[in-house]
Structure 1
């Protein structure tokens, strides 16, 4: 019986397994059938799409005569044509005229299975997916030569799935209609190689001064290497990058059999003679910056007709800016300049000392440390927190955490006012102010004023350790020139078609207040003092100038940024490799270049005086700054013990105080808000009268009596002699203030 039951259970398990296997088999067969059906339907749909696409393709002769690209004429603010950009075509070379080495180089680096695929490369796609899965990264697009041709002739470069599908269909249609030799001929005569050059003959004439029929192996490798990134690998822009990319092409040719190892080894790409560019000038730094903006400004336009672009550039000012940078940049150093009109219009832009030698735009692309020019944001934050230019500070050795800043020259001036601390670029005072208002507050101020690069909040940030762009610094100072209103640099005012149809017109922009007007007036006060008597004296031009110098450690960077008569200009100088430049200070070469350019830039503009009148808000007016209007009998008086005497009455003993009227007293709840500084605390009770007044009243010192703040009290001159002394002191700094370029 037991054996029978075991046999029965065994039979049942076997039957169950058979049923499960049968069920899995049925589902597997269904999936296979469904997959085959879907595949057949997909293939049918794809075949139908390719068929109709092939029927709609232009003839080969029509494709030969079609042109890519768009002609763009850029004009200066006065309408003068400054540059004409657009497609440049050489001779059409038929397949048998194109050197075989050129064909091999292009196929090896762009599409090694070109002669075996059907327009798309399934193996290449599967390999890209496998690499993405293996390396846990996004799959890189793989476009065959035929796909690139389809995209260049019929489509745009949008990275969308729809565009990729249409590209694949058109590529297969091209393969269906034309031979491989015809497709490669079309591609080599139409692909873009940068600088407006379309086709290998145009590229050969541009870079090597001869027809593509005479291309050597090294030259062919350089041209083939351009397709991936024309602007990056162009030999006219970066010879080293072009040579490195060409060597990659030669390596691919050797790998896939287009060159023998000894042939590849014998090619010295660095020895290829390049055509010397002529007619290049610094205005191309501006056009290189402005042109990409058309993609945004004309995003809704799909017109391919020629266009004219009106810009803000002033040709005469551009020439003056170029000459100023070339004449003043130290030997071996580069220079950059950005000049803005009061509304943000770019009047001049210099991105380097020689555009032909290097088209890298240091005015908008390079990020460098601004040194003391960064103190603009430190003092802006301090002024907004309640400081004024006349407040007293102490220039003395300072330690914040583990950081101890030092002044240039190692000297300390002792007690000075905020204005002089800024003018003579005192690092210790900047550190104290940054610590007082908060380093995060300084960073927020810089961001508010338009600094787009990362900003550190370490204490040393007050000395300009965070890297910035020249155009961003010009913008920030331009916003001070505008009274604290936002300024957006721009270079294009209007775009029209050749027939006069307006595609874009810039409308006047409404600025918004970034800092209160009294803060803008206060910082302008400091900035003009820095030029009048401080580190920026070399920037004087015979009319009011406000600005700030900047120098980094070991003189690696020198800056001067300032404004006058509504024009703001930022100048930077230094080496691209960030090595020290002997004798470079912000107050030397950069300030001289600024003055040289600005004398010309503002010559036809009326002289404008700066508004430095501090109309402080009510909360910032201290009691001793308020003036009580009314009956003199209503004044409050103080007796010898510092007690209040009621208006029109006597003290406790009934005698009237002999002392002159002083400030109107307020209760603690009514006291205006002031920033906490040094040993002062927000919850300390206000004194009945200022220490200065009490000392004058009792004819003695309170040092052994009442507790005083470590921060010296601000006091206006009480006599003409004091006022004269103050003016003389600013013109002739006291001992301890060492005058240096920065």
Structure 2
């Protein structure tokens, strides 16, 4: 088979066919001679062409001129024609620049500029007191017009970004020279020379590439834009397009995002902070780097003084009262379950509107923090040993307002809300509906029933522990959660009547007409059951849980919840008897572990093999439901409703009632007065102006559980003998990214407040430290409560 032709450069691999040693084979020699002749022919042609060109008269003149130009200059000889050389060089440079300009114009992008991804309209979620604590989506804000741009913001941007904005025509050669000099002195890029007009052009029309072509295009368009628009319009468009970090574009969106107000209401310190962000928005965004943002704002204030926009006194006053972030970008992790719920409810109420919306909700941030802390502490302490991995808690007012919600142990790991979404068997918690139905049908709390073996068809329920007590009153049977009596009552009144009672009180899950329903065999949610207990506590026919009070979009109110008017219960005698039974559970029954210092009632619930454990009860104006279990329905290690759930309920309710009591007293003490900047400022309004120690506020770091570091100052908490190690680490996690306000107390100590809750009392109540020698009576009482509950350092 013939071989394909090979390139002549590959001839070295041709196999030898004979010939003298060291001599190329005949075929190789032939190719080499042909190649050599080809090269010689080409060189000859080149030499001939060069000779013909050199013989041309113009070439001879040029050669002579070049020789004269480069011939060594002797004294008295002709000098180099520098003028013509420089002129030629400049002409060549001008030609190159003209070519670059033409190329830049020819390649201007048709649809360049910033590409902002479309996002859902933002929801700003506010707590009961109006404090914004979470956002969903990206705040878009309003597009400002020149009349709406606040003077203080315009002056701040011009002072820090382009001082000669009103003097140049799009390009500031003086600013370029100044920036180049400063960058050279700093040994790197420290200052840009682009004007506000150039920056607007780059944001609106061009890419962000750092190329010479883009800079030329930027300069051309800046000159054009200055010829088309007045300065005020250029500045306004810049403020509407600039990126301020946290995913927001535009000054109004940034003002809403960081300060919870429109741009027109910005203070001097807030305007200075926003103006300082545009140079490095991701690095200086105040929700992540508040210190860096405040430092940059101080530079802006200094620049405003230099330009004459403000006086030194105004700058100093703004530095003493720096801007504070009012709307956190990062939702507190534990509140995400609640925020998910209200976001869905808001969409159902107003739809997915194009504008940003603000929700005022029922959430009490202090109670929410207590709920998260109590549940986490118990699960951390006993979860692994008792084989329980999950828990949930919901607290509501007796009118249905949801005050706190913890839908699981860790939102980052699981967004499944175990308050609203998990359907679990309630066990004896369901007996509320059985006994209430019986009371409606003529039974009384002191009616006597027989606790004995009971059989319904082939089903024979048993009591917990397998023992029978004989004759018992309904009060005792309910308090001790006797199964046989509940089954007998359900059979007497009829399962359909029990189902009707449960539905009327708010249970919406499917309830099968089966005898086992009396012992809670149907699956329901924690929220459904808690609202039913709230209706009993409130003496109402039913209670509707709600979490949103009002929805607003800018200046428009989109939704306002009507005033709650609970329909009174028609079966008042039965309700009174039910309250008697619920109180007996905590007084003498399975719920003794949940007893608190105020009148209360509740019920325990435990399902087969300890797969679910519940406690739902009420005290004061609170109704609280607690559930513990495992998502995979695995059995727990002996956990019952009267055990860990009752302890969690007690810990939460004790602290929550104390907080609400103090808040009510504080509100009553200041009628007809606007709310102060903070509880601490209200207690001591002149603390900041007095010489010596004043009030402090900020996000602390923890030295030990009795000592904090607040803005570089050591703060010793009143009445707490601090502990290091694990206790300090847990306190640090609890206080992470949260503001603490502190007032000076006697002996150099401080009394600090977190969301209206006394921090010293919180630490002692949770067993995070020991009461110190300067502990006040209320702090000593908190320590004693921790001792009796055997929590924290008092655990045995």
TM bracket (short chain)? 0.3 to 0.5
Q: TM-score, normalised by structure 1?
A: 0.47
Q: TM-score, normalised by structure 2?
A: 0.44
